[in-house]
Structures are given as structure tokens and as C-alpha cells.
């Protein structure tokens, strides 16, 4: 082979090498690394979910394992609650003992100590010779007798309801030993058979709501500030303790009411059982003490559903509990309503009962 052919073949080889190099895959500087399949395909898998790896299913007998875990947890919770209750009861008994009240059958559940710790109101006896004994740390004692309000034949008691913020008054009520019930719209939040005011300075008492022996009594709640109280008296009666002004809301089917922490709003729920033993509709309203106006928050025309104003998060955010009978079970749902915004800001199931 002559020298020219060799040179041509050599040059041709170089050109082929150059073309292969130029026409091949891009250089590493331009390679885009692919994300891992876990990150791209399963973005919902996050460290926050890894602790729950469905442990109950990794067993040959998941029902047994779950039941045992539930039982141990339930026992632990019950034990903790019992110990907490015992500590609270012991602390309360210790406080009451400091007042040296003469009562053989003291009802600790209906006995209260004033917020400043200077007074105790003891509900004494139940079947006969019932009294309310109110005593302070310096020995001043007022005794109010059950027979001044109710027939002596009734079992029952007198019990404290609210201490005035200024420390001058104790509001109290009475209970009578009735038992009974009604349809689904029968309110479970009554049981006060009158409202009375005791002047702690001179021992004089005044009737604010006349005593009644009509079952099931009244629902009576004071606003946290003590400025007003609401009572289920043929509708809702709202009394201003400072001015004496009375507001009456003409409602029926009252289930429960609840004051906002600042005492501005009174929320209440209604239910309609007029056509059947179970509720046909339920609604939640709020009364504004500043404007003296009533606002409907929301309503449900769902058979068997009841609504209860349960608690407040701040002065204008209301938590409402919905309760519905389903066979022998009760299903619960929670609604959180922002009165300032005029809207439900949260809803969700809460079963079992919160």
C-alpha cells in the first residue's frame, strides 16, 4: 500500500473518531440526575407517617392484639383518672375540713368553696332536715333550710350555683328527688328548681326565680363575669344583675345554652320533636348582649340529630357538638363557628364522644 493511501486511511480514522465523539451521548456536564422513585411517585410518604406502619395488621390475630392493646390502654386511662379524681376529692375535703362545718351527711359534689377561699357552702342532708350551711374562715355562719322553699316530704337539697365576683353574694338553688324523662328532645341540663340570692354580709336571702316543684325544673347559668344569668323559664329569661333589666326570648324546644367567656354572647340550641319522638330539626342561635339581637348560626333538618353549644375558644368562637342516634349507637360530630366571621371554620367527626 502506497504512502498516500495509508495517510488517507489514517485521516479517515481520525474523522470517524471525531464524528463518533460528536454524535454520541452528551457529556456528563449536561446529565440531569433523576429523582428517586420514592420522592417522585410517592410524595405522600413522609417521616410524620412512618411511626404508624399499620402495626395491627402485621399479626396472625390482629383482633386479639388490638383488643389487648385497647384493654391495657383503657385500664391505664381509668387508673389515671381515678387517681386524679381521688387527689381532687382529697384536696377538696381538706379545704372543707378547715372550716369545721357541723354536718353529718355532707354532699361533697354539691359543696363549693368561694373563689377567694374565704367561704364554703355546704349542701347538707338529702332526705330530711336539709340545709345549706354557708360559713367563712372567721366563723360567721348562715344556715338556710330546705323547708323554706319546698315541701318537707320531698327528698332533695339546697346547693350553691354561683359566687358573685365582688364577694358579697352567693346564688343558690334547690333540687328535688324526681326521676323521669321524655322523648329525644328532653333536655338533660335542667334540675334547678328556683334561684335564690344570699347576702353574705347580713344573711338575708331573696327569691329571684320562685321555687317550683314542676319536673324537670330550670336550666340556670350565670355568665362568667357574673353580670347576667339565663334561665329556661317558658323560653329563655336573661336577667341583668346590675341593672335589673330582663330580656325574654320566646323559644321552644330548648336543649342547652352557654355563655361566652366575656359574657357578651349567649348561645343556645333548639330541637323540634313536635311531630315525632325523635328530633326533626335542630338549630343553634346566639344572643348578643350589646345589640340585644338574636342570630341564627346554622340549622339541620336531619332526623334524630341534636346540637349542643359545648365550649368556647376565645370570646367569639363557639364549638358545637352534634349528636345523632344510629340504631343503638350515638354518632358525634363537631362544628366550630366563628361569630365574627359568620361562618363555620371547622367540622369533623368526634366518635366516640369527646
Residue 351 within any structural domain of the chain: yes
**Which pLDDT tens digit goes with each residue over 136-145?**
999 999 999 9
Range of the domain at 346: 252-354
Is residue 180 predicted with pLDDT exceeding 60? no
Question: In 192-214, which positions are buried (b, 16+ CB within 10 angstroms) versus exposed (e)?
Answer: bbbbbbbebeeeebeebbebbee
Residue 278 within any structural domain of the chain: yes
Among 335, 300, 299, 298, smallest CA distance to 317 is for: 335
Residue 66 within any structural domain of the chain: no
The answer to whether the CB of 246 falls within 8 A of the CB of 183 is no
Q: Domain count of the chain?
A: 1
Cβ-in-10-Å burial (0-12, 13-18, 19+) of 233 comes to: middle
Residue 283 within any structural domain of the chain: yes
Residue 335 within any structural domain of the chain: yes
Residue 110 within any structural domain of the chain: no
The highest-confidence range among 57-61, 67-71, 185-189, by mean pLDDT, is 185-189
What integer pLDDT is reported at residue 318 of this predicted model?
A: 97
* Separation between Cα atoms, residue 323 and residue 76, nearest integer Å: 28
Least confident piece of the model among 65-69, 87-91, 324-328: 65-69
Enumerate residues 6+ apart whose C-beta is below 8 A from 84. Answer: none
Q: 262 pLDDT band (50/70/90 cuts)? A: very high
Enumerate residues 6+ apart whose C-beta is below 8 A from 77. Answer: none
Q: 159 pLDDT band (50/70/90 cuts)? A: very high
Tell me, rounded to whole angstroms, the distance of Cα 64 from its chain centroid.
Answer: 33
What integer pLDDT is reported at residue 190 of this predicted model?
A: 59
Residue 185 within any structural domain of the chain: no
Among 250, 213, 208, 245, smallest CA distance to 232 is for: 250
* Separation between Cα atoms, residue 41 and residue 30, nearest integer Å: 24
* Separation between Cα atoms, residue 267 and residue 284, nearest integer Å: 7
Residue 294 within any structural domain of the chain: yes
The answer, yes or no, to whether the previous bond of 288 is cis (omega within 30 of 0) is no
Amino acid at each position: 500500500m502506497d504512502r498516500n493511501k495509508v495517510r488517507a486511511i489514517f485521516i479517515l480514522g481520525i474523522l470517524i473518531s471525531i464524528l463518533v465523539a460528536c454524535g454520541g451521548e452528551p457529556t456528563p456536564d449536561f446529565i440531569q440526575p433523576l429523582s428517586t422513585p420514592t420522592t417522585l411517585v410517592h410524595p405522600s410518604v413522609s417521616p410524620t407517617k412512618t411511626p404508624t406502619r399499620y402495626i395491627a395488621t402485621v399479626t396472625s390475630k390482629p383482633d386479639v392484639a388490638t383488643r389487648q392493646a385497647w384493654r391495657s390502654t383503657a385500664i391505664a386511662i381509668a387508673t389515671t383518672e381515678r387517681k386524679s379524681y381521688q387527689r381532687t376529692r382529697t384536696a377538696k375535703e381538706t379545704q372543707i375540713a378547715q372550716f369545721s362545718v357541723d354536718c353529718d351527711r355532707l354532699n361533697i359534689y354539691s359543696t363549693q368553696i368561694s373563689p377567694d377561699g374565704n367561704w364554703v357552702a355546704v349542701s347538707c342532708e338529702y332526705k330530711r332536715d336539709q340545709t345549706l350551711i354557708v360559713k367563712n374562715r372567721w366563723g360567721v355562719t348562715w344556715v338556710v333550710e330546705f323547708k323554706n322553699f319546698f315541701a318537707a316530704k320531698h327528698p332533695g337539697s339546697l346547693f350553691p350555683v354561683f359566687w358573685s365576683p365582688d364577694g358579697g353574694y352567693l346564688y343558690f338553688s334547690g333540687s328535688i328527688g324526681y326521676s323521669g324523662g321524655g322523648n329525644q328532645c328532653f333536655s338533660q341540663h335542667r334540675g334547678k328548681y328556683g334561684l335564690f340570692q344570699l347576702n353574705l354580709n347580713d344573711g338575708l336571702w331573696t327569691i329571684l326565680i320562685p321555687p317550683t316543684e314542676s319536673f324537670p325544673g330550670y336550666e340556670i347559668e350565670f355568665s362568667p363575669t357574673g353580670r347576667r344569668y339565663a334561665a329556661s323559664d317558658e323560653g329563655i329569661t336573661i336577667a341583668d344583675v346590675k341593672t335589673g333589666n330582663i330580656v325574654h326570648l320566646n323559644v321552644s324546644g330548648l336543649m342547652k345554652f352557654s355563655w361566652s367567656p366575656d359574657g357578651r354572647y349567649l348561645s343556645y340550641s333548639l330541637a323540634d320533636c313536635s311531630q315525632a319522638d325523635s328530633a326533626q330539626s335542630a338549630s343553634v342561635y346566639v344572643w348578643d348582649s350589646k345589640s340585644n339581637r338574636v342570630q341564627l348560626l346554622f340549622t339541620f333538618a336531619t332526623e334524630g340529630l341534636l346540637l349542643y353549644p359545648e365550649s368556647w375558644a376565645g370570646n367569639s368562637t363557639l364549638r358545637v357538638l352534634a349528636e345523632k342516634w344510629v340504631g343503638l349507637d350515638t354518632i358525634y360530630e363537631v362544628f366550630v363557628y366563628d361569630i365574627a366571621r359568620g361562618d363555620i371554620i371547622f367540622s369533623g367527626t368526634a366518635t366516640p364522644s369527646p
